[in-house]
Amino acid sequence: MNILSLPGIPLVQPGDNLVQIILDGVQAAGLSLQSGDVLVVTSKIISKAEGRLVRLDAVEPGEEAHKLAEEVNKDPRIVELILQESHAISRQARNVLVTQHRLGFISANAGIDQSNVPQSGEYVLLLPLDPDATARHIREQLRAQTGADVGIVVSDSHGRPFRVGTVGVAIGVAGLPAVLDLRGQPDLFGRELHISMQGYGDMIASTAQLVSGEGAEGRPVTLVRGLPYPRSDGTARDLLRAPENDLYR
pLDDT at 119 over 70: no
Task: Categorize the per-residue pLDDT at 121 as very low, low, confident or very high, splitting at 50, 70 and 90.
Answer: low
Give the residue extent of every domain in the chain: 2-51+128-241, 54-125
What confidence tens digit (pLDDT) does each residue in 140-183 have?
Answer: 999 999 999 999 999 999 998 889 999 999 999 999 999 988 78
Q: Rounded to an integer, what distance in angstroms lies between the CA atom of residue 125 and that of residue 115?
A: 9
> What are the φ and ψ backbone dihedral angles of 52, each rounded to 5 degrees?
-90, 15
- Nearest CA to 170 out of 204, 126, 219 is that of 204
Decide which of 1.10.3720.10, 3.30.413.10, 3.30.1330.100, 1.10.3210.10 is the CATH code for 2-51+128-241. Answer: 3.30.1330.100
Which run of H or E residues covers position 233? Answer: none
Q: What is the homologous superfamily of the domain 54-125 according to CATH?
A: CofE-like domain (3.90.1660.10)
User: What integer pLDDT is reported at residue 51 of this predicted model?
Assistant: 94
pLDDT digits 0-9 by tens, 184-240: 788 888 888 888 888 999 999 999 999 987 766 678 999 999 999 988 889 999 999
Is there a common fold for 2-51+128-241 and 54-125? no
Note the pTM of the prediction, 2 decimals.
0.93
Task: For residues 45 and 220, give the distance between their C-alpha atoms in angstroms, rounded to a whole number.
Answer: 7
Distance (Å, whole) CA 240 – CA 132: 13
Q: How high is the pLDDT of residue 216?
A: 63
